[in-house]
Amino acid sequence: MQKSPTPQPAAALDNRQLDLPLFAEPGSTSSSPSPSAPSASTNGQQPAVPLAPDGSKLRSLTIGARTLHYALKRSARRSIGFAIDSTGLTITAPRWVTLADIETAITEKQRWIFTKLIEWQTRVEQRALPKVDWKDGAQVPYLGQPVRVTLGSPQGTLAFSAEQSALQLPLPLQADPQQIKDRVQGWLQGEAKRLFGERLAIYAEKLGVNYRAYALSSAATRWGSCSSDGKIRLNWRLIHFPLSIIDYVVAHELAHLREMNHSPRFWQTVESIFPEFREARQTLKSHPPELLPTL
């Protein structure tokens, strides 16, 4: 008979309040989508626990009159960690911790969990922006300011006027909304590619580092990332923000070429080339990518 493993002590509860990581650590992946409750059992058999695309298990726990849905991830960490963001609650726990221990920890932490979930829901409702109505006169944010889209460019080419905050497209007034969207998004991405490259050159020189390459990303929850081999990726939708926010993300990712972590030395490195990083960081925490206009 196989000997049962010796029970391990319950994990210590990690009381840190963790926000959605908007900057990719080396080797990190995007966060999971909103969790949902597992399906009911059939024929008296325990159903398989559904999985999110990233492999985390989607579970639910009834606490009093409320049902809490959460994503459960297993890792080599030593404590139970809680993360609450716009997708809901994610719990990361050591592989040896039992589900009963995890549910006990959730119950003990329930006041904080429900408070933070309500705060995130309120934030989403307050900041969520309507979809762009793709027609003549549509407005899109560009470098922190609304830009008005007009059709029927007299020059017959795409033209942008910073003074008038207007983008003229060489399309007829009856153009299909998808055509308008594609032209505007293409222009925004082109501006992002040009401008981000310029800012990277400026801040790389300030810090005295060289990056190997850079590219745009369309990550759902990440503003930027830097790999250990010097490749930087920047979310093109940063082009919606003022230049100071773009500069912060650029400085942040370049600082990873010195410190591949988020230690005090890392933040000192960021501050050395972008002293106003705290204000910019707070702005991005309040405006995650999923709350930007739907393009």
pLDDT digits over 56-81, tens only? 678 889 988 888 989 898 888 888 98
Mean residue pLDDT across the chain: 78
Going by pLDDT thresholds of 50, 70 and 90, the confidence category of residue 10 is very low
Q: How far apart are CA 238 and CA 224, in angstroms?
A: 9
Most confident of 51-55, 137-141, 280-284: 137-141
pLDDT in tens, 227-281: 989 999 999 999 998 999 999 999 999 999 999 999 999 999 999 999 999 888 8
Domains and CATH numbers, the chain: 12-24+49-127 (no CATH), 139-291 (3.30.2010.10)
Residue 54, pLDDT score: 53
* pLDDT, position 78: 85
Model pTM score = 0.58
CA distances from 41 to 38, 44, 60 (A): 9, 6, 14
CA distance 211 to 256: 10
Q: Residue 48: pLDDT band by 50, 70, 90 thresholds? A: low
Quote the radius of gyration of the chain (alpha carbons, Å). 23
